[in-house]
Chain A
Amino acid sequence: MDPVAKDFNNEQIDLAFLPKYEQVAFSSVSSKYLIKMNIQTGIFMLVLTIALGVFWFFQLNNMQSGIIFGFVLVAFIFRFWNNYKLLQSLGYAVREKDIIYKRGFIFNKTTVIPFNRVQHASISRGIWDKLLGISSLNIFTAGGGASDISIPGLEPEMAVQLKEAIAVKISHDES
């Protein structure tokens, strides 16, 4: 058994007075991230359209390719709209003891990671990130991929600041 610590007390907690993660004010990410998503979707759409064009040239008649193109168009309009909604839904918040990240419009998901469970944090920048001047902040825990978060579309200085703040929190919280 553990020895009882000196100033140990164990007051009853009223659940209603606990800090509520769902009521914090979220910071949103840079709108450049929307540009990045749209570029990526656009490239994908271009590739598909070219492939369709090749098919149309060799195999399909006008009607068939028209119908397929219609589907592709609708799917991509949806994608662009979804990108826009996704950007609006992206948000993060840093509290004293944890970091909160929410994303997704159709599938909304909020993840909360206490700082005393963070293993390490890193910054990554893809080629589009570099061109657009944004960064992603990745935070890792020991809980495997589903439990880690990656916040995209941060201003590079902001990402560095956040990463350093987290590093301080980690070493500070360490027993």
Chain B
Amino acid sequence: MMNPEAYSNPQRQSIAGILLIFISSIYKLFRSFWAVGAYLLVSGPSRTTLIYIGLALLLIGFLAFIYSYLYYRKFIFYIDYKREEFVLEKGIFSTENTAIPFDKIQQVYFKRSILQRIIKVYSLVIETAGSNLKEVEIKAVSEEDANKLSKILLKAKAEKTEETSLEEESEKTEENKEVFWTHKVGFLTLLKIGISTNYLRGLSLVFAFVMTIYNRVNTYFKDQVEDVEVYFDQFSGVLQSIGFLAILFVLLLLLSISITIIEVFIKYYGLTIQQNKDKMEVEMGLKTNTKISLQPRRLQLMRIKTNPVQKRLNLYEAQISLSSSENELQKNKIKIPGLGKEIVEKIKYFLYPESSKSSFSTTFRPDKLLLFRKISLATLPVVIFLAFWYFLDFINLKLGAILSISSLYIIAALILQILSFRARKLIFTEEFLQKKTGFWNKTDETLELFKIQSISVKQPIWYRRKNLVNVVFHTAGGDLKFYAVNTGIIQYVNYVLYKAEVSSKHWM
């Protein structure tokens, strides 16, 4: 039987770990300096240089060995049974002390590289929730230790989370297989998505086309040819080249559209959504068939996207962020395009059953300062362009043309920025937070208040007098940011915190 208090004393890695650290640090050094070494060898060094290089290498090897030994000595781990934590300390110059409570352990597993296979050790990886940066890896553990440790940790984890897992099991037995509704995205819809999503690429092509023609005609007229004969000759030449350009343009446009359509088909072919009592299943993909089951509990953030063209075609795209759960392979963000309005409503109702009722609803809009900043950013390209035109003369354009182009651009940018500024708002209700942005590409983000991980309130010094702040709501599925909003929002920040702190519901 296993000693119940095993590993409660500070442990070191397997002694072979020194070798592992040594080889990997040498390898790292080699990777960053091999170019220098190659250069030295190629440059035909003299005998004495070679000796010096050899000595330096020896010294480096020796230092690396000392480093490996010290690193090994300072790398300590143990299990603190009293506090129910796994503790790891490491680092020679700077020490890092990490403690993982048993119930935060998501998974414990081994891995082995070739080197580890040769020296007969294992990597023991302890994963916690959240990003994989927070996982702990012990790189050299003997097989026996690895087995024992993972057993103890998994057992401790199971004991700590027994209650919740029991709950889940009972949920599972109750699970109703009855399908409530199914939604299939057909061939035609996929075609529509393909055509309507990447019109921007098409637009930029049109723009490039117009610009090249303009340049051609311009250079032609600039060359003011006297001879009438040559004039006509050249003119037809210009016409011809414009014809070629037009054909090329149409071909490119067709190509770009068909590429998008093919992409859409590969990604979303056979898209099916099926809802039963407590989960929703999404299946899609031609080459790699992805199947995802959505539970409302795992949901962190939902985005609904559309633009006027797609709205007319009744196409909405849902983007759903899930918490990175025990399965690392599972994608965190799922895009489901080609949904009709009624389907979006159904999904929303399933994921957020209580979203309709709320005793209050407060809307915040950003301050004009944000508009000012966005406009100045948008006009920056014009300034750069004008500077180029003025100081360098590789852009052959007349003053009039320059002025009309830049003023057109500025007016367009102004209108665009004002419209999207007006569309920007943040709505607080009793249980939800909703952010709406975009006047053309409309995005609608919804976050259930208690699902936040933390909140940051930022105030640059020039916001202070205007009483403005930037607020960022951090979730396990990405951040929700809202800039340049009046400090009145802080009351609601407190409310969101209250909601998270008072809730005993699982956020994942």
Q: Residues of A at under 8 Å CB distance from B?
A: 1, 12-13, 15-16, 18-22, 97-98, 105-117, 119-127, 129-130, 140-147, 149, 163-164, 167, 170-171, 174-175
Contact = CB atoms under 8 A, between A and B. Distances in A.
B402 interface: no
Given A129-B94, A141-B453, A142-B476, A21 B497 contact: yes
A136 to B, nearest CB: 10
A36 B134 CA distance: 26
Interface string B119-149: 0000000001111011000000000000000
B97 interface: yes
A16 B100 contact: no
Interface residues of B, number: 58
Contact of B500 (A114, A121, A123, A175): A114
A20 B101 contact: no
Contact of A110 (B94, B101, B457, B461): B457
B88 to A, nearest CB: 9
Nearest to A124: B96
The 7 closest A-B pairs by CB, nearest first: A143-B453, A147-B474, A142-B130, A143-B474, A113-B454, A97-B501, A126-B94
A115 B329 CA distance: 28
B459 interface: yes
B65 interface: no
B454 A114 contact: yes
Interface stretch (B219-227, B437-445, B486-494): B486-494
B494 A21 contact: yes
A109 B454 contact: no
A117 B163 CA distance: 19
Nearest to B481: A146
B423 interface: no
A114 B501 contact: yes
5 contacts: A110-B457, A112-B456, A117-B453, A119-B129, A126-B94
A98 B453 CA distance: 11
B508 interface: yes
Nearest to B93: A127
B104 A120 contact: yes
Contacts, number: 159
Contacts of B500: 114, 116-117
Interface string B442-467: 00000000001111111111000000
A106 B372 CA distance: 20
Given A18-B491, A20-B494, A142-B453, A175 B474 contact: no
Contacts of B457: 109-112
A81 B457 CA distance: 24
A110 B458 CA distance: 6
Contacts of B100: 120
Contacts of B454: 111-114, 117, 141, 143, 147, 149
Given A21-B497, A117-B500, A144-B478, 18 more contacts: A12-B359, A16-B491, A20-B491, A21-B490, A98-B501, A107-B458, A108-B459, A109-B458, A110-B457, A112-B455, A117-B452, A119-B129, A122-B98, A123-B97, A126-B94, A144-B131, A144-B474, A147-B479
Contact of B99 (A19, A115, A121, A146): A121
A146 B474 contact: yes
Contacts of B353: 1
Nearest to A12: B359
B32 interface: no
B3 interface: no
Given A21-B497, A108-B459, A175-B506, A140 B134 contact: yes
A120 B99 contact: yes
Contacts of B493: 21, 112
Contacts of B455: 111-112
Contacts of A130: 93-95
Given A119-B104, A121-B99, A142 B460 contact: no
